[in-house]
RNA sequence: GCGGGGUUAGCUCAGCGGUAGAGCGUCUGCUUUACACGCAGAGGGUCACUGGUUCGAAUCCGGUACCCCGCACCA
């Protein structure tokens, strides 16, 4: 006898207990058995600084659904979890902590500061892991990895040295994106562009020894202090005469050359004269190199003006802008100022305006890595879903630039390059005791660290022990699918593909599913300033983890997800429905799953065949949808089945037998058995989506397995399909609905009972006789009379091809009823009319598939009958 | 400028060649012994516009309008 359930489902009372049960039971840890079919997936490692946000909740719910589904489907399943050290983000947080104590990291020094960050990590770094557990994530925590662990650090050093030895890593001086706030270089993908309203300043530059004045336009007037030339187009008639002469730089009163550059200058744009600041703009830098111009740095690494900026030295670059403009205005050199909209580069992590800066950095020569990565997607070795992302991937990969991998930070993987006192550079996984070139023992390591994404690019195999030859790599690498947000396609996915192919010779995964962005219910981006942020932990507390997961899943088709609390409330109601349906079932089931025998299928009645047939169809849909990552379709199919077929119809249909109002003892026993069967299969089908509630209920059903999460996932069984049972039950449902409609329209209540007349041939007639009790019960009738002439004035209808008539006490036809009948008639007539035309059209009859034509004919016959009956109701 | 996506019921979306669907919201009944986080029912759509292909188009192709999102450019 199963235990009883409480009247209302209270998620908070079971979630923690069940999660501990799973963890203790080691259900998340796969076997080290190379013979068994495996399924593996690695988590997109969340930053240790992070708190779980709704995007994490989504991506991890989707992974958990797939992982639980595969595990139940018999795969030796590994979901490998871990966290990312997140260089800049983490350093920023600890910096802020230090600031509160009134010290900076420079006061501490590098070593102490890094120690401090590790301490921070020990205290707070696991928070996000705990939150993932609240969500129900069935990741193998015994394999928890961190991108800065010793194992992964060795992988990083090995990868770096290999790339360097292959000539794919170089160190050099170049114009990079510089963040003056974080005081580090960042890569191209880390720069975000924002449309800003700003000003375009027109400045007059007098031509030396002449009365001519050249006007240039700039959005960044402070950089003029670093101008080392003006440039015009060589073929521009307006300026031919000034090429080779000099201009006087206002304020600084420096003479600068006027050069001609056909690549740099667009004659059509602005005045056709451009100032050249080689040290502070990418294009100017290139132009400077072409024209052999000096680079004059006027802004420093902290975004302040240098000594070279003269009187502005020491000022912040934006203060300097204001002052420069004022001074230009005073001197009359400011020609004009216009409003101007343009996008500017921002460092996404700290919102600081990027300053292009010339500096010495480490780079990855990317083209040789990108080519095979492009091929892998093109030839289908890796499939990206939704497929439209492939175009974006190709577009980016084909125009990719070398990757700036060095960061001027302290928290991260220190670059394994070593400098000796004589300036020789050695790149090696371990520090050399002496310089291999000159023998100097004064060896110091490069102070720069690597871009965080360098280490996460190795994630699928570094977490499994690479570069060693480990069992995990043998069994679980390559992984099967990567599930992540589209926003890190370039940052992470592309780099993993490149590194995976390079270092392991294999694509790190065969499929990539990119999920959309979680937005608010009106499609707006969630943001703290808008106040529309949904905190997953809050909603788990409020609605339960299962409801939150289900809500995320039912929206997840690869597009953006408009998330509303009302939806979560709706799926919390679904959880409650599952709970109560199970509670009802358990009041009657008196056996356990472990002790029952298989159902004798030959003895089953039509409604039993029907519900199992419907469940079988649902099973087919769910399995197929999950294999296509159509989480929305899969979850919706179960929802519809469980609530609207199992609860709304089947449970109501078995009540007469279950409660002993109808049928034999054997009928009741069989009904109980089928109820148990449907509940068991439904719970297993639902488990990947709603792990907690299904576990709690399923355990009470007394299964053989210790947990539903290791019970087999339902698969399609052809023998459960029963089209005939579906046809007849559909007819019964339609009759019941028709009676309910007519009753409501005529203003009767459910207490008023009537006689129902039904027509059917041989076998069907016998069926309606058998199920008269059901019609009586659910349609609240006094009697069902098969194949008799209904009295005059009865209400007629045709449903699913069967004639029915309801005998109402008297012909109380309301205006409402008449209108409705009229509308119904009108609709049917219209449809019939178009069908008639269709069937008279020879081309339709000749060209359309026979099944369609037959369907049209059947529908035509039914409509004719229906119209005839409806007319009798008028 | 290049690329991707969208426009279907009041709202949010699914459907992507063969009779317009779901959830939420609205309205009307109902304390029917699992559930009022419930049950039964109702109303609500010329599927953005416009050509074409087809026996047949929300669905395929072309164009127009508007809206998102990448990337590039931005003196």
Distance between the alpha carbon (CA) of A848 and the C1' atom of B18, Å:
8
Grade residue A5 by pLDDT with cuts at 50, 70 and 90.
Answer: low
Short-list A784, A748, A779, A741, CA closest to A873: A741
pLDDT digits (tens, 9 = 90+) for A307-355: 988 888 888 999 999 999 999 999 888 888 888 888 888 888 888 899 9
Continuous H helices in A712-849: 723-745, 762-770, 772-779, 815-840, 842-847
Grade residue A563 by pLDDT with cuts at 50, 70 and 90.
Answer: confident
**Nearest nt to the A842 alpha carbon by C1':** B55
Strand order in the sheet with A443-445: A425-427, A417-420, A443-445
Query: What does the alpha-carbon distance between residue A697 and residue A138 come to, in Å, rounded to a whole number?
Result: 19
Distance between the alpha carbon (CA) of A557 and the C1' atom of B16, Å:
15
Number of Cβ within 10 Å of residue A224's Cβ equals 23
pLDDT digits (tens, 9 = 90+) for A681-691: 999 999 999 99
Whether omega before A356 lies within 30 degrees of 0, making that bond cis, reads no
Q: Which nucleotides of B are covered by protein (CB under 7 A)?
A: 2-5, 11-15, 18-19, 22-25, 28-30, 32-35, 37-43, 54-56, 70-75
* A298 within 8 A of A270, measured Cβ to Cβ: no
Number of Cβ within 10 Å of residue A171's Cβ equals 16
Element (DSSP H or E) covering residue A37: none
Continuous H helices in A275-316: 282-290
* A322 within 8 A of A367, measured Cβ to Cβ: no
pTM for the model stands at: 0.92
pLDDT averaged over every residue in chain A: 90
Distance between the alpha carbon (CA) of A628 and the C1' atom of B41, Å:
37
Grade residue A589 by pLDDT with cuts at 50, 70 and 90.
Answer: confident
What is residue A596's predicted lDDT score, i.e. its pLDDT? 84
Which residues, at least 6 apart from A398, have a Cβ–Cβ distance to it below 8 Å? A370, A374
A2 pLDDT above the threshold of 50: no
- Tokens coding A293: 């111009």
**Nearest nt to the A191 alpha carbon by C1':** B71
If you average pLDDT over residues A860-864, what whole number do you get? Answer: 86
Distance between the alpha carbon (CA) of A173 and the C1' atom of B53, Å:
59
Grade residue A1 by pLDDT with cuts at 50, 70 and 90.
Answer: very low
Taking the CA of residue A529 as centre, how many other CA atoms within 13 Å lie in the half-sphere pointing to its CB?
A: 1
| Percent of chain A scoring above 90 in pLDDT | 52
- By the 10 Å C-beta count (0-12 exposed, 13-18 middle, 19+ buried), A785 is classed as middle
**Nearest nt to the A344 alpha carbon by C1':** B74
**Nearest nt to the A748 alpha carbon by C1':** B29
Grade residue A813 by pLDDT with cuts at 50, 70 and 90.
Answer: low
Q: How would you write A112-134 as a 3-class SS string?
A: HHHHHHHHHHHHHCCHHHHHHHH
pLDDT digits (tens, 9 = 90+) for A711-734: 999 999 999 999 999 999 999 999
Number of Cβ within 10 Å of residue A235's Cβ equals 11
pLDDT digits (tens, 9 = 90+) for A427-437: 999 988 888 88
Distance between the alpha carbon (CA) of A69 and the C1' atom of B15, Å:
26
pLDDT digits (tens, 9 = 90+) for A540-554: 999 999 999 999 998
What is residue A52's predicted lDDT score, i.e. its pLDDT? 86
Maximum Cα–Cα distance for chain A, whole Å? 117
Grade residue A810 by pLDDT with cuts at 50, 70 and 90.
Answer: low
What is residue A822's predicted lDDT score, i.e. its pLDDT? 81
ipTM topping 0.90? yes
Query: What does the alpha-carbon distance between residue A368 and residue A388 come to, in Å, rounded to a whole number?
Result: 25
């Amino acid at each position: 006898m199963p235990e009883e359930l409480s009247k209302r489902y209270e998620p908070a009372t079971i979630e923690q207990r069940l999660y501990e049960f799973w963890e203790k039971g080691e259900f998340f840890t796969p076997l080290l058995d190379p013979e068994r079919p495996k399924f593996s997936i690695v988590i997109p490692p969340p930053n240790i600084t992070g708190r779980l946000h709704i995007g994490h909740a989504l991506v991890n719910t989707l992974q958990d659904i797939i992982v639980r589904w595969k595990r139940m489907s018999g795969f030796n399943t590994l979901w490998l979890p871990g966290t990312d050290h997140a260089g800049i983000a983490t350093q920023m947080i600890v910096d802020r902590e230090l600031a509160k104590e009134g010290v900076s990291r420079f006061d501490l020094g590098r070593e102490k500061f890094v120690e401090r960050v590790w301490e921070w990590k020990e205290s707070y770094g696991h928070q996000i892991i705990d939150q993932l557990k609240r969500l129900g994530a069935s990741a193998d925590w015994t394999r928890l990895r961190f991108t800065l662990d010793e194992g992964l650090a060795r992988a990083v050093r090995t990868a770096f040295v290999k790339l360097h030895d292959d000539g794919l890593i170089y160190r050099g001086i170049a114009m990079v994106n510089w963040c003056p706030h974080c005081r580090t270089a960042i890569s191209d993908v880390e720069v975000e562009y924002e449309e800003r309203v700003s000003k375009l300043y027109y400045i007059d530059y007098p031509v030396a020894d002449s009365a001519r004045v050249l006007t240039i336009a700039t959005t960044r007037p402070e950089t003029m202090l670093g101008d080392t030339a003006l440039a015009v187009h060589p073929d521009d008639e307006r300026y031919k005469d000034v090429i080779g002469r000099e201009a006087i730089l206002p304020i600084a009163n420096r003479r600068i050359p006027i050069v001609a550059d056909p690549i740099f200058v667009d004659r059509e744009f602005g005045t056709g004269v451009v100032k050249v600041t080689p040290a502070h703009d990418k294009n100017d830098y290139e132009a400077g190199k072409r024209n052999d111009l000096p680079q004059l740095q006027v802004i420093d690494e902290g975004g302040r003006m240098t000594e070279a900026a003269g009187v502005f030295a020491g000022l912040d670059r934006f203060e300097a802008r204001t002052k420069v403009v004022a001074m230009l205005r005073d001197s009359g050199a400011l020609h004009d100022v216009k409003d101007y909209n343009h996008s500017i580069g921002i460092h996404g992590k700290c919102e600081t305006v990027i300053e292009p800066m010339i500096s010495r950095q480490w780079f990855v020569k990317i083209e040789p890595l990108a080519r095979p990565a492009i091929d892998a997607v093109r030839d289908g070795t890796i499939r990206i879903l939704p497929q439209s992302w492939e175009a974006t991937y190709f577009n980016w990969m084909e125009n990719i630039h070398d990757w700036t991998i060095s960061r001027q930070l302290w928290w991260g993987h220190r670059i394994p390059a070593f400098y000796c006192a004589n300036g020789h550079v050695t790149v090696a996984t371990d520090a050399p005791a002496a310089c291999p070139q000159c023998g100097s023992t004064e060896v110091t390591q490069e102070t720069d660290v690597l871009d965080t994404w360098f280490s996460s690019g190795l994630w699928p195999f570094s977490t499994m022990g690479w570069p060693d030859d480990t069992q995990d790599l043998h069994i679980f690498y390559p992984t099967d699918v990567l599930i992540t947000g589209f926003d890190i396609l370039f940052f992470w996915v592309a780099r993993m593909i490149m590194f995976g192919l390079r270092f392991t010779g294999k694509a790190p995964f065969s499929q990539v599913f990119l999920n959309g962005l979680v937005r608010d219910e009106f499609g707006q981006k969630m943001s703290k300033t808008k106040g529309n942020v949904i905190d997953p932990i809050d909603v788990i507390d409020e609605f339960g983890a299962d409801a939150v997961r289900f809500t995320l899943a039912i929206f997840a088709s690869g597009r953006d997800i408009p998330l509303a609390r009302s939806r979560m409330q709706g799926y919390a109601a679904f959880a409650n429905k599952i709970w109560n349906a199970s509670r009802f079932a358990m009041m009657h089931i008196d056996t356990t799953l472990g002790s029952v025998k298989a159902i004798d299928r030959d003895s089953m009645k039509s409604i039993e065949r029907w519900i199992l047939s419907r469940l079988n169809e649902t099973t087919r849909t769910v399995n197929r949808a999950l294999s296509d990552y159509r989480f929305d379709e899969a979850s919706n199919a179960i929802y519809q089945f469980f609530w609207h077929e199992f609860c709304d119809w089947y449970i109501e249909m078995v009540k007469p037998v279950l409660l002993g109002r109808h049928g034999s003892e054997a009928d009741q026993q069989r009904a109980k058995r089928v109820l148990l069967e449907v509940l068991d299969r439904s719970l297993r089908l639902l488990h990947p989506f709603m792990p907690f509630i299904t576990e709690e209920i399923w355990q009470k059903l007394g299964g053989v397995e210790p947990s539903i999460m290791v019970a087999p996932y339902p698969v399609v069984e052809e023998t459960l399909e029963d089209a005939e049972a579906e046809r007849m039950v559909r007819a019964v449902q339609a009759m019941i609905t028709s009676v309910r409609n007519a009753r409501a329209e005529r203003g009767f209540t459910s207490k008023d009972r009537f006689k129902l007349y039904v027509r059917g041939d041989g076998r069907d007639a016998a069926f309606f006789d058998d199920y008269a009790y059901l019609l009586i019960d659910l349609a609240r009738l006094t009697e069902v009379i098969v194949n008799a002439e209904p009295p005059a004035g009865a209400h007629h209808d045709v449903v699913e091809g069967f004639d029915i008539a309801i005998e109402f006490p008297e012909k109380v036809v309301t205006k409402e009823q008449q209108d409705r009948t009229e509308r119904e008639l009108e609709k049917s007539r219209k449809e019939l009319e178009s069908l008639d035309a269709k069937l008279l059209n020879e081309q339709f009859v000749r060209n359309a598939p026979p099944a369609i034509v037959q369907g049209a004919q059947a529908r035509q016959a039914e409509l004719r009958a229906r119209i005839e009956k409806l007319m009798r109701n008028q």
